[in-house]
Structure 1
């Protein structure tokens, strides 16, 4: 019994994580080489604060950075998408204002960790005019469960997943789940997948995974580039190497030089 309780606690912590409510503000920086903007979107049970390592590193390269903050815990997926859409629109509006002061050639790029990637996909699917505009840049999905999560499947019939809320419950691999209901991207995008699992979740996967998302689930038709890194799911959002890959893709359409 004690073992089962301990496993449940570890599972809940690993699935939900710990987040801080503070929003990390990243000052915009411009230089002669980078006049583009990058919108950074966090994942489940996180906040804008959780993306500060990545966002600060991107800003240091001269990009304007806007970090989206939206609720995910104990939220229906509809509310999560509505609130994140408001934030994404805010970022784009702010960038358009600064762009008019600088250049009409700059682009807006998007980077999403885990659920953040699905939020971006949903938003862009609802804004085809933006996707077709000259403003649309590139998108990087980092550990995104584009076809759902095996962990969500494992806990789908338990109180644990329902306790986290409807957004978490929507992330299964079912054909009718939220991830699998999204249209395939029609813009330039790349995918980064982790391959280092958590021991507590290892038995839930039959193939390579980052502890929460299988490598196969991250893949989408039309990827301009794809790379696997030996990093756990949560670490992907703050690992310097991953951030360097994101920057490389934005600049060159490739994660690494051949």
Structure 2
């Protein structure tokens, strides 16, 4: 037995410890749960870097996938959010981080289920008032095929504007850089290549921040990730945070696979 003890000790393992009888297991809090919802024509893989950063910061994460081009928003939102909340277990007021259309799924589901509680929500590039891209190209068959029925609901006078103010503590991060000047040309005002900064704003939000990032890659950008962590932790963004400081914070967490693309 003594030789087994030394073998375990010097191998870097430890022997099981007896439970402390003075500690009530039910009083030990579980990590807060964060639900991730990706955007249109994406998968949960697009949120993996965000997932890793949140886990490194101590959160329990449910990175919820859904078939974004297969059905209208309401039919996508219900099974996705039900599954995500179930994945959060005992946490009945989970935080949520959304990218793009994921915000509209969340708002739609929350409107249909006002009895549910939520924690803090960070929306990345949300089309809270739709996008002129849908107005301009939505009638083309190829566009409908590429974006599905949910995508066609994201015009500037469509589903997003019919939803009520957000019922949760919400911080919005908008992008000001574009990878597609053709698409940006049909969008009114400054934009991220898909959604205008003005469209990201929503009634009831608590904070709004614009960063020099693009719609396509913003959820993998170090500044966006660290600002998301800041809002989830404190309910506020850090507007003065530099790109270098954001990288350092992520490296300190052990997260190095972040995109340097805006």
Unpaired stretches in structure 1, ≥5 consecutive residues:
1-31, 100-105
Deviation beyond 6 Å, 4+ runs, structure 1: none
Are 1:34 and 1:63, in contact at CA under 8 Å, matched by a contact in 2? no
Using structure 2 for the length normalisation, give the TM-score.
Answer: 0.75
2-structure distance, mates of 1:39, 1:173: 27
2:177 aligned to 193, 196, 201, which one?
196
For 2:14, the equivalent position in structure 1 comes to none
1-structure distance, mates of 2:132, 2:176: 14
**Closer, same or farther: CA 95–204 of 1 in aligned 2, 3 Å:** same
For 2:36, the equivalent position in structure 1 comes to 40
SS at match of 1:55: helix
2-structure distance, mates of 1:49, 1:257: 28
SS at match of 2:85: helix
How far the C-alpha of 1:81 sits from its partner, in A, is: 3.0
Are 2:76 and 2:105, in contact at CA under 8 Å, matched by a contact in 1? no
Using structure 1 for the length normalisation, give the TM-score.
Answer: 0.76
1-structure distance, mates of 2:223, 2:29: 21
How many residue pairs get matched?
Answer: 211
Unpaired stretches in structure 2, ≥5 consecutive residues:
1-27, 241-262
Q: How does 1:154-233 map to 2 (within 5 A)?
A: 154-164=136-146, 165-174=148-157, 177-197=158-178, 198-233=180-215
Are 1:142 and 1:193, in contact at CA under 8 Å, matched by a contact in 2? yes
Query: Whose radius of gyration is greater, 1 or 2?
Result: 2
1-structure distance, mates of 2:139, 2:218: 28
Are 1:54 and 1:237, in contact at CA under 8 Å, matched by a contact in 2? yes
